[in-house]
Amino acid sequence: MLKNFLPSQHVKNIFDIKPEDLKKQGIKGIITDLDNTLVEWDRPSATPELIKWFDKMREHGILVTIVSNNIERRVKSFADPLQIPFIYQARKPMGRAFRKALRDMGLKKSEVVVIGDQLLTDVIGGNLNGFHTILVVPVAQTDGFITKFNRKIERRILNWFKRKGMLDWEDKK
């Protein structure tokens, strides 16, 4: 059961994910979380560095879809200026939004990675739906109410993985 929480890969931040590396792995698409994965949960728009990251992905032909549990207004106001497709109120870790993103991109599961900062939504959702998952360290130290609760559970799971030598995620900060 706990193996469903173990990401395929873990990195310090989104910028450690390079399009050249993804292409070598046969990756053509990214399903990414928004809040505390791409930007702080309370930052309304993309940073210049993040815009460059999205542009690099586009230049390499890698499709990106934002899949967020947040409300439409939040996700739309972030994604629309960047012309990035999105799914809001995704109900992660449930699989519906992951499957919709995959269909919309026209890709196979083996060609898509799921990127996020939470074990209880992004990683377990991606793993249960058969995707390669990449866990990033949250970009902010603060969280919304529900996420604060999730982080307490995640901390226990991460500590267990660390004790077993399965993950050095916390050391990535």
pLDDT tens string 16-48? 999 999 999 999 999 999 999 999 988 999 999
Cα–Cα distance between 104 and 158 in angstroms, integer? 33
Model confidence, pTM: 0.88
Expressed in percent and rounded to 5, the helix, strand and coil fractions of the chain are 45, 15, 40
- Return the ∠ at Cα 140 (arms to 134 and 145), rounded to 5°: 95
Instruction: Show the low-confidence residues of the chain (pLDDT under 70).
Output: 1, 142-148, 169-173
- Domain 2-172 classification at class level: alpha beta
| Ramachandran quadrant class, 91 (left: phi over 0; alpha: psi -120 to 50; beta: rest) | left
Domain boundaries, the chain: 2-172
Amino acid identity for residue 172 in this structure: K
